[in-house]
Amino acid sequence: DASYLFPLSENDKLGISTIRCFGKDNKPNLKDVMQYAGFFVADSVDGKVFIKHSPRAEHELEFYLRVSDEKTHPALMPLMDIIQRQVLDEGVETTRQYTVFPFITIDKKADYSETLDELITEISISNEDWTEHILKIGIQLTSFLAWMHDKHNAIHMDIKPKNVVRYIKRKRHLIKIIDFEGVKYGLKDVNGKRIIVNVPEE
């Protein structure tokens, strides 16, 4: 019963009514969602939204607050909300945090999203020449990382194909970057070309 996780009465802002988990088998499994990091798509008053279990949601929120006073980069996935829920984890009550983002479909006609991870699989079995599209995606990704570096002295720390959502608009392949829980901030070196950050040992 997904409504147990996000009851309407506690989420009037989003108006979430239904929720669907994307697990390994693409089947809703609330038990797995409660135990592991969950990814959901939900219906809201603003259309479909993407919900992610974020153990370090406050760190992700910090990044969005740092960039909120300026025109953000077009490749930045907008943050809509952060939800906190009291849940039972093996009989122990704990607080779970979830970040909420707009659900971006691959194109206007589709009802699903796609990351670069899926694109890599498509390219591997395709007979098309993807060179131009790959270069344009790479330029957008480089531009975004340079924006983080130059404007905010920040390093993403977890750039990978699964953290890059792609979509097609007016026949252009565009991207949105997600997952800023691991962002590190630092200071520029004397030449202003490198960011020096302290990464604590775990």
φ, ψ at 163 (rounded to 5°): -100, 15
- Convert the pLDDT of each residue in 119-175 to its tens digit: 888 898 888 899 999 999 999 999 999 999 989 999 999 999 989 999 999 989 999
The CA dihedral of 68, 13, 30, 89, to the nearest 10 degrees, is 70
Q: What pLDDT shows up at residue 172?
A: 92
Euclidean distance between CA atoms 85 and 11, whole angstroms: 11
pTM for this one? 0.77
196, pLDDT greater than 90: no
Q: What is the H or E stretch that residue 116 is in?
A: helix 116-124
- Convert the pLDDT of each residue in 42-73 to its tens digit: 777 667 788 887 888 888 989 999 888 778 89
The CA dihedral of 9, 11, 12, 15, to the nearest 10 degrees, is -110
- Convert the pLDDT of each residue in 96-114 to its tens digit: 788 888 888 899 888 778 8
Side-chain-side CA neighbours of residue 139 (13 Å)? 9
Residue 11 structure tokens:
């989420």
